[in-house]
Amino acid sequence: MPSTSAAPFDIAIAGAGIFGLSIARRAIQQGLRTVVLEAGHFGAGASGGLLGALMPHMPARWNPKKEFQFQALLSLEDHVRQLEADTGLSCGYTRCGRILPLTTQDKLDHHLERAEESKTRWRPEETGFSYVVEPAGSRSDWLDSAAAPYGIVYETLAARASPRLYLSALAAFVRREATLLEGVKVVGYDETLGRIALDGQSDLTARHLVLSGGFAAFDLIEQFVGERIGRGEKGQALLLDGAGLEDKPAIYCEGLYVVPHGNGTVAVGSTADRDFTDAAPSPARTAELIARAQSFCPSLEGREVLTEWAGIRPRCNRRDPVVGKLPGSDKVYAATGGYKISFGIAHLIADCLICDVTGEKPQHPLPQTFQPGHHFGDNLLRSDQ
């Protein structure tokens, strides 16, 4: 542990998931003296999972949030390649594309409209990414054509990364350039003195504190602001042996993702359980995930299950992540609630948050619905939304 008499850190980050470690990398790049405080080990939360789907929002009813995510997915590849070059570690990233099976005439009509809108929103001539409807029977070597009687959408913007490899590369960078302390839980902060209270250990001092503890960050946020703005939602995934399927696109079908990875595995997930008593993977859920995936992907039949995993995702009551300074505070920031899209947007979230700290202009402005003002006070909606 650093001694409490040491010079204060410029910034302390509570939580070493994809948000916390991405923020730490950006802080270090901006020359801030940075410490990451992690209650367990890095990747102990939802970020230590298996799926790694980096999926765009649909190109319909465009808004600042969709544009932010679009920009994030456009810039993520360069970001990841730079991290890989800095650390010599692979993040398992590939622009794999995605298939969406069309099961009804309504869906076909709907996606034909989206394909049309993608020509304006995704700017294919400039970006090279397309969203097209293909006829029934397309890509039937991977997606059972019976599962897509009205054809498919094939889009080329979607990518995948290995969550564990991506996180390990970030953690290696932070360890090398700054301080990453594991087994250190943040329990409070005296803003006047800049003193961070740690569970069972001596305090340390930092000029700014970022709460990026995933779903547990909502407890600390409530402690600081007096409002609970989010919750945890359980999800489950598994890895199958996927030898020979490495180059296949991801599939998204009826809420389920199938994501082939470059190491010869296929990740399948996730479910959403708001009410859960146990954070461990449930064997019944695993069986259900496998059966559903095999029903539209016959090449998954007979594949060995390599790993089962469950995690608790942070979800804000108002859906979008909360990123920025807490109401009434000058020094405490929140960065959580990425729910299903954290991996694709974390690097831009980190840029926005650190720019907020340093007073610089972010690469892309944070959507209004990501800002604390959207999540607290009069805007607080019922938690059952």
* Residue whose CB is less far from ligand FAD, 6 or 279: 279
Could you give the CA distance from residue 84 to residue 77 in angstroms, rounded to a whole number? 10
- Of 216, 220, 230, the closest CA to residue 384 belongs to 230
**Measured from the CB of residue 21, what is the shortest distance to ligand FAD in angstroms?**
8
- Of 365, 360, 111, 143, the closest CA to residue 245 belongs to 143
**Measured from the CB of residue 76, what is the shortest distance to ligand FAD in angstroms?**
11
**Measured from the CB of residue 216, what is the shortest distance to ligand FAD in angstroms?**
4
* Residue whose CB is less far from ligand FAD, 32 or 312: 312
How many alpha carbons fall within 13 Å on the CB side of residue 114?
22
Binding site for ligand FAD (CB under 6 A): 14-20, 37-40, 44-47, 49, 51-53, 185-186, 212-214, 216, 220, 235-237, 269-270, 311, 313-314, 336, 338-344
* Residue whose CB is less far from ligand FAD, 36 or 108: 36
CA dihedral 258, 292, 342, 29 (to 10 degrees): -30
Could you give the CA distance from residue 163 to residue 93 in angstroms, rounded to a whole number? 9
Give 172's contacts (C-beta < 8 A, 6+ positions apart): 87, 89
Neighbouring-strand partners of residue 369: none
**Measured from the CB of residue 214, what is the shortest distance to ligand FAD in angstroms?**
2
**Measured from the CB of residue 42, what is the shortest distance to ligand FAD in angstroms?**
6
- Of 290, 239, 286, the closest CA to residue 260 belongs to 239
* Residue whose CB is less far from ligand FAD, 235 or 324: 235
* Residue whose CB is less far from ligand FAD, 333 or 339: 339
345, 69 in Cβ contact below 8 A?
Answer: yes
**Measured from the CB of residue 351, what is the shortest distance to ligand FAD in angstroms?**
15
158, 56 in Cβ contact below 8 A?
Answer: yes
Could you give the CA distance from residue 317 to residue 381 in angstroms, rounded to a whole number? 7
143, 296 in Cβ contact below 8 A?
Answer: yes
* Residue whose CB is less far from ligand FAD, 19 or 296: 19
**Measured from the CB of residue 239, what is the shortest distance to ligand FAD in angstroms?**
12
* Residue whose CB is less far from ligand FAD, 110 or 325: 325
